[in-house]
Amino acid sequence: MDAAALKTRRKRRELILQTLLVVAVALIVWAAISTAQTKLDELNMTSGFGFLERATGWAYSFSLIDRSIDDSYSRTLLIGFMNTLFLGLICIVLSTILGFAIGTARDARQLGLNAVATVYIQLFRNLPLILQLVFWYAVLIHMPGPRQAYSLGDALFLSNRGMMLPALNVSPLVVLGIFACLVLLGFAIFRIKSLQFLHKLGLWLVASIGLTLTLASMFAPAESSMFSLPVQKGLRFQGGLTVSIELVAMILAITLYGSAYIAEVVRGGLHEVPSGLTEAGKALGLSSRSIWFHVKIPMALRTIMPPLGNQWIFIMKATTLGVAIGFSDLFYIVSTSITQSGQTLELMGLLMLFFLLINYSLAQIVNFINARLALKGH
Amino acid sequence: MATSIAKIACAVAFAAGVAAPVTAFSKSATVTEIEERGTLLCSGHNGSYFGFVEVNDKNEWKGLDIDMCRALTTAILGDPDKAQIVPLSWAQRFPALQSGDVDVIIKATGWTMGRDTEVGLQFSLPYFFGGTQFMAHGDLGITEAKELDGGTICVEAGTTIERLAGNYLKTIGVEHTMVSYEKASELRAAYLANRCDAFAAWGPFLAVLRATELEKPDAHIILSDQLSNEPIAAAMRQGDEEFVDMVNWMIAALLIAEEEGVTSANVEEMAANPPNPKIARLLGVDPGMGERLGIRDTWAREMIAATGNFGEIYDRNLGEGSPYKLDRGLNNLWSHGGVLYAPILD
């Protein structure tokens, strides 16, 4: 037999094997679905997504938009989805910033700085996240109550109910608009080639504040202040923005834990940068800041990015711990919905779908950044 | 007609040499089983559910529900100590009853349609009423839920209480934030740390918690609102109507005794010299009380001597004689402003 015939045979064999695999997977999935269907019918349990339109009848601790016990299950699930996304994004941003700082400190030559960073990483990386979360929550809820809240200039309050911050006196839609403007502004400024990174950052911050104030004064309702300040009234604070203590605890715990991991990733990345490059920078008389910004980080990012993406996905998944302390993330909403409505399989399916959606998108973003970072020609 | 058939049946039984009691009334299979075993198997708890089913420092069971078990045991077997308490979790209680691990569940169990039909249980007369209530921090200076406006309420996640509380507060127009926890221990810790202004739970549980578990009971107040009212009854397996009769009349006898002023202290005196025909019937001076259930005529007398009437049981476990000092409230006789009543003893 000649080589071509052997090749065709091998191809055919591979094709058959792959077809068999696909058929087997399809069969297993079909069997699982049909078994579930028969069992549900036997137990007289209703299945399907009709319950999504029913009112839930229960309340929960946190939402970005208006909520009520008359909300349908679909709206409640949407709120859970938004809460998870909101919490996850905040934690990703904060722990990435903190992680880069700690990782750099770990790579530093100064003994003191290095030791502090090492202790930080070992402490937060080696304790289970749920334990840290329950610990921080216990600490936070033992702060004074709303009537004895710590206050800063009567505008910012901290109590065991949460953080009460001054807010802009505009509708959530306007806030979203302002936020979008700031992001666009950021992109515009960072495209300016002639400025240094820190100068760009400073410019963006100043411009952002100016823009926000202008827009807020334009959209604030007539004859009322541009800001809404929290004022203690009866059992609660009215006005301003209340960040519930559960959210604070979640952000704190996940950020500390996540940043310890990211710091190790960053340290590893910085370590990979050939020492010759840093030495060359020194020989050119660059400051250590310039070396970090223009030599080490651009080189290290290529090694940092893939594991960093994994950490981001991990942080997203860590939001599901909210159920332990009463923070209404998506998992919490789904698990309460299951006990209250009994639609276990449907809700579990939705939960998986939502997380797949979030984390798959995140992975795509990371892949995109990776592709942009890749050295041309490699 | 039925009587004569029963008589013939009895005669046949005698002829066959079976030691059946001479009675014209059919006897419960469960009661026969309990008599043969010599003990009554009753539901306990995996731990202490204070006031109802608890273990004291001498490792003995006590509580309102335990005393009801002991009363039933005395009625059937003549000795309260023949009650055998089987520790069960909340989730285990119904399967344990169905599989015969216990004869009866007397453990703060609410009478619901699902349990009555799907779970296949049979409920007795309700002997206790308790509903969902709020407990709030005393320093707020409030007495009813209306004043909770703007407050934070803690509840256990995924319970009927979660929905009841949300619905009630919405109905009376109280704006609030609801924080729900998966575990009771986290809920309690959050309430004690003042994370929430109020905490919603089963009223008697809150009252007992306040009286014993909290360091300063006076620093907490149970608000006057009653969100629901659950009838608490003994649960039995379906299919033994005679046993249901037995348990119903055990509860009835405790209530009638309280109504008529028969207590553990004066029961012998009353039996020796019954002040009215009802008491004479109750205490077995006039025959019929036991015969109709297939047991001894003096069962109620022995039971009251052993455990006291319902009022005594309540006072000892939840009321003045207990650390909890709960008011009788709804759990008083109808003639004293409560909702408890007994069927007619004729």
Chain B residues with CB under 8 Å of A341 CB are none
The verdict on residue B18 lying in a domain is no
Residue B137's DSSP bridge partners are B220
The secondary element (H helix, E strand) that includes residue B158 is: none
**Residue in B with minimal Cα distance to A159:** B195
The verdict on residue B47 lying in a domain is yes
Interface with chain A: mutation pick from B175, B195, B199, highest number of A CBs within 10 Å: B195
**Chain B CB within 8 Å of residue A43 CB:** no
For B151-188, give the DSSP string. Answer: EEEEEETTSHHHHHHHHHHHHTT--EEEEEESSHHHHH
Nearest Cα of chain A lies from the Cα of B228 at a distance, in angstroms, of 16
**Residue in B with minimal Cα distance to A147:** B140
> What residue segments make up the domains of chain A, in order of their start?
46-71+89-141+245-333+368-378
What pLDDT digit, counting tens, does each position of B70-124 carry? 999 999 999 999 999 999 887 788 888 988 999 999 998 888 887 888 778 899 9
The verdict on residue B279 lying in a domain is yes
* Residue B96, number of CB atoms within 10 A of its CB: 17
Nearest Cα of chain A lies from the Cα of B142 at a distance, in angstroms, of 11
The verdict on residue B341 lying in a domain is no
Question: Which pLDDT score, from 0 to 100, does residue B64 have?
Answer: 95
CB contact under 8 A, B186 and A160: no
- Decide which of B191, B226, B261 is a domain's last residue: B226
- Angstrom distance (rounded) from CA A284 to CA A298: 18
**Chain B CB within 8 Å of residue A248 CB:** no
Could you report the predicted ipTM of this complex, rounded to two decimals? 0.70
| Of the candidates B104, B120, B101, B103, the residue with the CA atom closest to the CA atom of residue B112 | B120
Question: Which pLDDT score, from 0 to 100, does residue B5 have?
Answer: 52
- Decide which of B187, B209, B226 is a domain's last residue: B226
CB contact under 8 A, A61 and B180: yes
**Residue in B with minimal Cα distance to A238:** B150
The answer on B36 and B89 residing in a single domain is: yes
The verdict on residue B343 lying in a domain is no
Instruction: Find the mean pLDDT for residues B279-306.
Output: 92
**Chain B CB within 8 Å of residue A324 CB:** yes
The verdict on residue B176 lying in a domain is yes
The answer on B123 and B86 residing in a single domain is: yes
The partner residue sitting opposite A234, judged by closest CB among B150, B162, B190, is B150
Question: Which pLDDT score, from 0 to 100, does residue B24 have?
Answer: 52
Chain A residues with CB under 8 Å of B170 CB are 68-70
CB B115 within 8 A of CB B94: yes
Interface with chain A: mutation pick from B177, B188, B192, highest number of A CBs within 10 Å: B177
CB contact under 8 A, B194 and A60: no
Domain boundaries, position B261:
28-130+231-336
CB contact under 8 A, B166 and A234: no
The answer on B222 and B203 residing in a single domain is: yes
- Which residues, in sequence order, are CB contacts of A86 under 8 Å at separation 6+? A64
Nearest Cα of chain B lies from the Cα of A232 at a distance, in angstroms, of 11
Q: In the CATH scheme, what is the code of domain A46-71+89-141+245-333+368-378?
A: 1.10.3720.10
**Tens of pLDDT along chain A (378 residues)?**
688 888 999 999 999 999 999 999 999 999 998 888 887 776 666 677 888 888 888 888 888 888 888 889 999 999 999 999 999 999 999 999 999 999 999 888 889 999 999 999 999 999 999 999 999 999 998 888 877 878 877 778 888 888 888 777 777 777 788 888 888 888 888 787 777 777 888 888 888 888 888 887 777 776 667 777 777 776 667 777 778 899 999 999 999 999 999 999 999 999 888 889 889 988 998 888 888 888 888 888 888 999 999 999 999 999 999 988 989 999 999 988 887 777 778 899 999 999 999 999 999 999 998 888 877 655
CB contact under 8 A, B179 and A326: yes
The answer on B117 and B235 residing in a single domain is: yes
Model confidence at B22: pLDDT above 60: no
Chain B residues with CB under 8 Å of A138 CB are 189, 193
Model confidence at B150: pLDDT above 80: yes
DSSP label of B209: I
Chain B residues with CB under 8 Å of A61 CB are 177-180
CB B103 within 8 A of CB B335: no
Number of separate domains in chain B:
2
CB contact under 8 A, B150 and A238: yes
**Residue in A with minimal Cα distance to B180:** A326
The verdict on residue B181 lying in a domain is yes
Q: Which is higher by pLDDT, A338 or B25?
A: A338
- Decide which of B226, B248, B269 is a domain's last residue: B226
CB B171 within 8 A of CB A266: no
Instruction: Please state, rounded to an integer, the average pLDDT across all residues of chain B.
Output: 87
* Residue B26, number of CB atoms within 10 A of its CB: 12
- Angstrom distance (rounded) from CA B326 to CA B304: 22
Question: Residues for chain B: how many in total?
Answer: 346
The residue whose two tokens read 């008491």 is B279
**What's the CATH code of the domain at B165?**
3.40.190.10
